[in-house]
Amino acid sequence: MTPVSHENPDPAVMRTQYRSTPLLEPDLAPAPMEQFARWFADVSAADLHEPNAMIVSTATPDGRPSSRTVLLKAFDERGFVFFTNYTSRKGREIESNAHVSLLFPWHPVARQVIVTGTAARVGRDETAAYFRTRPHGSQLGAWASDQSAPIASRDDLLTRYDELAARYPDGEQVPVPPHWGGFRVTPETAEFWQGHENRLHDRLRYVREAGRRAAASGGEGPWRVERLCP
Active site members: 199
Q: What are the CB-based long-range contacts (under 8 Å, 24+) for 121-126?
A: 121/86, 121/181, 121/182, 121/183, 121/184, 122/81, 122/181, 122/182, 122/183, 122/184, 124/176, 124/181, 126/81, 126/182
With a CB cutoff of 8 Å and minimum separation 6, the contacts of 38 are 29
| Residue from 114, 139, 145 nearest 127 by CA | 139
For 158, other C-beta atoms within 10 Å of its C-beta total 11
Round to whole Å and give the CA distance between 136 and 156.
20
Q: How many CB atoms lie within 10 A of CB 35?
A: 21
- 94's CB contacts (< 8 A; 6+ apart) are 58, 100, 119, 183
Contacts of 101 (CB under 8 A, 6+ apart): 56, 57, 114, 115, 116
